């Protein structure tokens, strides 16, 4: 288990947590947490404001995963929280023949998945992964499991550990000090679980998660 940032090449947009906080209401959060059309392709206030494939996002990131985890054509990779399968698509392009699977809680996202990944994505919840023990060489979950309440988040971590036979990498909402906590509270739209980084590490240890991890901090 190691703290490592494998997303250094993911493009960073300029964020305005204060402006976002002023716009949010519990009604808006409620809509966003349904992870339907409004979250992905509706007004920006509910989420992405239009979620379409852009090669500049995951194409630069995939080679770092490939190198760090030694991925080859025979590798099996699961994306927990795959949305429309864009990262999976870029893995397939970078490593021809690699076996990919993806799950997402959003039936809308799965229905709208990028064409070449449609056969490999399904609707499921991270807290109950529909795969056998030790099915994958690498399980990736980017900004997903924190959308569950703490007990279910712990179960998702156990599930990720259960279905991997080698590696896992997750990112979760977190903070390291009071200022970052305030920023997170202003920015957060969908996460039900966010904690100090030290608390996250204790949770990882508690549930037996042995994979790698990093933080999303606005």
| Per-residue pLDDT tens digits for 99-126 | 999 999 999 999 999 999 999 999 999 9
The DSSP bridge partners found for residue 99 are 76
pLDDT of residue 166: 94
* Structural contact between residues 163 and 129, judged by C-beta atoms closer than 8 angstroms: yes
* Structural contact between residues 155 and 127, judged by C-beta atoms closer than 8 angstroms: yes
Report domain extents, the chain. Answer: 55-216
Regarding predicted confidence, which is higher, 205 or 21? 205
List the Cα angle 32/146/21 in 5-degree steps.
Answer: 50
Fold (CATH) for 55-216: Rossmann fold (3.40.50)
Q: What is the DSSP string of 115-143?
A: GGGGGGEEE--TTS-SS-TT-EEEEEEES
Q: pTM for the complete prediction?
A: 0.95
Q: What is the DSSP string of the chain?
A: --B----TTSPPPP--HHHHHHH--HHHHHHHTT-SHHHHHS-GGGS-SS----HHHHTTTHHHHHHHHT--TT-EEEEET-TTSHHHHHHHHHSTT-EEEEEES-HHHHHT--GGGGGGEEE--TTS-SS-TT-EEEEEEES-GGGS-HHHHHHHHHHHHHHEEEEEEEEEEEESSHHHHHHHHHH-SS-S--EEHHHHHHHHHHHT--SEEEEE--
User: Per the structure block, which two tokens stand in for 54?
Assistant: 């852009």
Query: HSE on the CB side for 20, CA within 13 Å?
Result: 20
Longest dimension (CA), the chain: 48
| Per-residue pLDDT tens digits for 44-90 | 999 999 999 999 999 999 999 999 999 999 999 999 999 999 999 99
Q: Are strands 195-196 and 121-123 parallel, antiparallel or unpaired?
A: unpaired
pLDDT of residue 125: 98
Give dist(CA 104, CA 123) in Å, integer.
5
Percent of the chain surpassing pLDDT 70? 98
Given a cut of 80, whether residue 19 has pLDDT beyond it is no
């Amino acid at each position: 288990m190691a703290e490592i940032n494998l997303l250094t090449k993911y493009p960073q947009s300029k964020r305005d947590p204060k402006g976002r906080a002023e716009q949010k209401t519990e009604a808006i959060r409620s809509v966003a947490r349904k992870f339907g059309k409004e979250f992905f392709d509706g007004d920006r206030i509910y989420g992405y404001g239009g979620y379409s494939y852009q090669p500049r996002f995951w194409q630069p990131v995939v080679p770092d995963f490939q190198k760090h985890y030694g991925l080859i054509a025979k590798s099996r990779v699961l994306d927990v929280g795959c949305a429309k399968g864009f990262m999976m698509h870029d893995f397939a392009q970078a490593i021809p023949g690699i076996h990919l699977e993806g799950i997402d809680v959003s039936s809308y996202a799965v229905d709208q998945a990028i064409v070449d990944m449609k056969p490999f994505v399904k609707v499921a919840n991270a807290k109950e992964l529909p795969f056998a023990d030790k099915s994958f060489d690498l399980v990736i979950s980017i900004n997903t499991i924190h959308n569950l309440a703490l007990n279910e988040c712990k179960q998702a971590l156990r599930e990720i550990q259960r279905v991997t036979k080698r590696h896992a990498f997750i990112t979760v909402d977190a903070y390291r000090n009071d200022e970052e906590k305030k920023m997170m509270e202003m920015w957060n739209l969908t996460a039900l679980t966010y904690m100090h980084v030290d608390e996250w590490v204790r949770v990882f240890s508690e549930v037996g998660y042995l994979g790698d991890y990093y933080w999303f901090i606005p």
